[in-house]
Amino acid sequence: MSQSQSRTECKVRRPRAILLGAGHRPHVPEEANRLRPAVERFAEVVLADFSGVEDLSSLEADVAIVFGGDGSILRAARQMGDRQLPVIAVNLGKLGFLAAISPSELPNVLEHFCAGKLSIIEHLMFECAVLHAGELVHRQIGLNEAAIHAGPPFTILEVNLYVDGELVTTYSCDGLIVSTPVGSTAHCLSAGGPILRQDLQAFVVLPISPHTLTNRPVVDSADRIYEMLVAQPNPGTALVVDGRVVCTLRPGDRVRVQKARTKFKLVAAPGHSYYRTLREKLGWGGRREVN
């Protein structure tokens, strides 16, 4: 198909687009405004939200264009809730494991997306629920990880882990992370966890600074149900989902993590492979020089 034919088809289809990004960073709305005419060549912009407050779960649209870094993508996924749109992720941040498209690549990506030439990769998401005395008190959908953090006064926590209702172990630690493959290159990686290929259907369970050195990361199926119980939380012990505090935990609270029904949908960037991303983002591309 020629470039002119592709553009003609795009004018017929004209997908409805949402523009999202981190408005607290001055360069993000500025760059989004600069690129908006390029977006409007291929799509109808039905909403631009750089505050992160809009509920996108019922908005009629075909694609979300997210400007920023991976943090902006996590916020967009949270805003979309159970109704995830395909995401074109434009990297205006630093690392950007998910946000792989440069601003200069966006027009070409939009043209190919409109012509149906780009694949959409689905990634595992999770549903995190907090139950107290058997009653649901909080529910949050996430993409990266659910983590229990000790919080002030920062004494060691005793965290019981259950998988499908069976007690696995009691961790003595500063916290516990349950991560998706997408989240395995985020907080989980910084805490010493493994890197999981992003299309795997699995969770990583990783204690933060475990008191027992034999405690190691565990990788298990995403079809299982993971529950964390802190019998004696600190006053500041909190549940954090994708870097955002959901609630402080009370004695007896159970944190349940399981595979969500919905998937995160990322539009594949042309020429950007999984291992290329790891090589470039983690500095695997060169050799260390030894004096």
**Contact in structure between 101 and 89 (CB atoms under 8 Å):** yes
Active-site pick, 49, 70, 174, 253: 70
Query: How far is Cα 209 from Cα 132, in angstroms, rounded to an integer?
Result: 27
Nearest in space to 144 (alpha carbons), one of 161, 128, 131: 128
- The structure tokens 């949402």 sit at 18
DSSP E strands: which ranges in 180-288? Answer: 202-208, 218-221, 226-230, 238-241, 244-248, 254-267
- The structure tokens 């494991």 sit at 97
**Contact in structure between 65 and 40 (CB atoms under 8 Å):** no
Query: How far is Cα 107 from Cα 38, in angstroms, rounded to an integer?
Result: 6
Query: How far is Cα 202 from Cα 58, in angstroms, rounded to an integer?
Result: 29
Q: Is 70 a catalytic residue?
A: yes
Hey, which residues are catalytic here?
70
